[in-house]
């Protein structure tokens, strides 16, 4: 698959599982909890942004962290917004700024929208046929990233927490060993409250929740992926049981993995997790932040998909 073979302690490429969800769904927390299993490596959001000043979970800035510097030195090419490429740049229009698909609240430009509409059905068709797209440089960079990880951590399963459906499709279409997807959902009210704090409108946040989860569900069903649906609220209410269910789904020996992440783990993502003590608690912040007007709007525009996930207002 790669231009140069990876360096694997066990002599085989690890299985890859992806977490798919919009932002503000607790994916970093779930990744770090699963990383506590002796056979899983989870690096939070997985692909670090190419921004000065961002921090690594080890305490070092990304641009001086020895681990990420080693990753960068091994890559066949660097991503546009992330150090490890999120999507193949061969499929980006010249001059496009960033990935053609991200589970973020952004308005795509015309060029990236056109490419997205072409590549998503292309990748889906290739996956359903059991074939591969020859994205050699993209696959080689990701494979070398996993190779560097194998030199620092002992693992059999790599948990990709980048959360992007396009990233997942690119990995799957180019033949990377993706074994399944955790589809993480969260109460739309909690998502809307978080998105509003980030500067997005009530209307935009509400519609994006429904659109993104609908897209994830339809695409995963379309390619016949192995999927585990997990509600964030259920995870917080019963973290031990939820983690045990995921381990069983991944066919792993059960381990007690509740606890704070290792201080030596080179993870990226929500900086608030740096103070995480290992005690998983549900967040009711949206109760205090959403106004009566917000709740009335949500009641009138409640995403239909939310009912399938047992969310009602």
Q: What is the pLDDT of residues 73-90, one digit of tens each?
A: 999 888 888 999 998 876
pLDDT band at 299 (very low <50, low <70, confident <90, very high): very high
Cα gap 60→300, rounded to integer Å: 46
Mean pLDDT score, 145-150: 94
Residue 176 token pair: 């990377």
Q: Which residue has the higher pLDDT, 195 or 103?
A: 195
In tens, the pLDDT along 176-215 reads 999 999 999 999 999 999 999 999 999 999 999 999 999 9
Q: How far apart are CA 181 and CA 56, in angstroms?
A: 25
Q: Give 276: exposed, middle or buried? Use CB within 10 Å, 0-12, 13-18, 19+.
A: middle
Ordered structural domains, the chain, with CATH: 15-308 (3.40.50.300)
Quote the CA–CA distance of 260 and 183 in Å, as a whole number.
23
- d(C-alpha 238, C-alpha 230), whole Å: 12
Mean pLDDT of 107-125: 62
**Res. 111 pLDDT band, cuts 50 70 90:** very low
The C-alpha atoms of residue 243 and residue 248 are separated, in whole angstroms, by: 9
Tokens 């670090």 belong to residue = 48
Q: What is the distance, to the nearest Å, from the Cα of residue 199 to the centroid of all Cα atoms in its chain?
A: 22
What angle is formed at CA 44 by the lines to CA 157 and CA 223, rounded to 5 degrees?
60
């Amino acid at each position: 698959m790669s231009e140069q073979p990876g360096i694997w302690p066990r002599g085989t490429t690890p299985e890859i599982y992806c977490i798919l969800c919009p932002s503000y769904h607790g994916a970093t927390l779930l990744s770090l909890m699963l990383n506590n299993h002796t056979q899983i490596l989870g690096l939070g959001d997985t692909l670090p942004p190419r921004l000065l000043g961002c921090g690594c979970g080890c305490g070092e800035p990304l641009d001086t962290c020895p681990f990420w510097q080693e990753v960068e030195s091994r890559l066949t090419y660097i991503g546009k917004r992330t150090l490890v490429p999120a999507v193949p740049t061969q499929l980006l229009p010249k001059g496009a700024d960033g990935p053609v698909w991200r589970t973020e609240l952004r308005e795509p430009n015309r060029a990236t929208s056109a490419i997205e509409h072409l590549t998503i059905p292309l990748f889906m068709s290739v996956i359903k046929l059991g074939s591969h797209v020859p994205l050699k440089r993209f696959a080689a960079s990701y494979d070398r990233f996993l190779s560097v990880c194998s030199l620092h951590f002992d693992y059999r399963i790599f948990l990709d927490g980048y959360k992007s459906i396009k990233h997942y499709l690119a990995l799957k279409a180019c033949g990377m060993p993706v074994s399944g997807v955790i589809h993480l959902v969260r109460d739309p009210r909690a998502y809307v409250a978080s998105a509003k704090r980030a500067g997005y409108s009530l209307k935009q946040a509400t519609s994006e929740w429904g659109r993104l989860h609908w897209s994830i569900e339809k695409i995963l069903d379309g390619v016949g992926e192995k999927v585990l649906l997990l509600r964030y609220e259920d995870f917080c209410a019963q973290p031990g049981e939820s983690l045990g269910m995921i381990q069983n789904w991944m066919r792993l020996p059960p381990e007690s993995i509740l606890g704070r992440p290792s201080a030596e783990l080179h993870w990226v993502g929500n900086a608030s997790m740096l103070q995480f003590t290992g005690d998983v608690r549900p967040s009711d912040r949206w109760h205090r932040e959403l106004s009566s007007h917000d709740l009335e709007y949500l009641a009138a525009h409640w995403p239909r998909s939310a009912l399938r996930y047992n969310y009602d207002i």
